[in-house]
């Protein structure tokens, strides 16, 4: 791949700040990030793992209860949540999700639309699914899916 010298110098400065030891490593990560971004935006019928983070005012009327009820109503998507008190009024929650991408996005939109929720952001990573265990005691079974990140 060829790029002009000024762009190459700027790229080298950026990857140096980020700790890459070579252009190849940086390009590989840039390509993965771009491909993942495209997949996450275009494949709503697939599966994903995701992180939803948002800040909210816990004094907002019934908001804490509504957020908790939403997580309970979608216990099939919610893997874990972390709650942090930022100050006397504001809290940060991070919710780890997994499931169908369209359901994860719908859940995130519902949370972000609640009055009093601010600064919501969803980070989606698409995955392939598999129901086989690998390794010494490999077996196939029903009951749950394994989510395999794409490379």
Per-residue pLDDT of 55-87, as tens digits, reads: 999 999 999 999 999 999 999 999 999 999 999
DSSP E strand stretches across 58-89: 78-85
Angle at 74 between CA 34 and CA 36, to 5 degrees: 5
Q: Is residue 54 predicted with pLDDT exceeding 70?
A: yes
CA distance 129 to 123: 19
> What is the reported pLDDT for 96?
98
Q: Is residue 113 predicted with pLDDT exceeding 90?
A: yes
> What is the reported pLDDT for 20?
87
Backbone φ and ψ for 127, nearest 5 degrees, come out as -140, 160
> What is the reported pLDDT for 86?
97
Structure pTM? 0.72
Neighbouring residues of 59: CB distance < 8 A, sequence distance ≥ 6: 89
The per-residue pLDDT of the chain, averaged, comes to: 86
Q: Is residue 140 predicted with pLDDT exceeding 60?
A: no
């Amino acid at each position: 791949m060829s790029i002009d010298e000024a762009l190459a110098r700027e790229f080298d400065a950026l990857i140096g700040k980020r700790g890459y030891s070579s252009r190849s490593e940086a390009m590989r990560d840039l390509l993965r990030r771009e491909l993942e971004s495209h997949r996450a935006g275009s494949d709503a019928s697939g599966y994903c793992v995701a992180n939803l983070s948002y800040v909210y005012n816990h004094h907002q009327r019934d908001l804490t209860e509504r957020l908790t009820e939403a997580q309970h109503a979608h216990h099939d998507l919610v893997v874990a949540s972390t709650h942090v008190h930022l100050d006397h009024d504001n809290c940060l929650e991070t919710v780890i999700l997994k499931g169908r991408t369209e359901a994860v996005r719908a859940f995130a939109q519902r949370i972000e639309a609640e009055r009093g929720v601010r600064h919501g952001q969803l980070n989606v990573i698409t995955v392939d699914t598999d129901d086989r265990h690998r390794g010494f005691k490999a077996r196939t079974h029903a009951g749950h899916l394994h989510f395999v990140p794409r490379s």
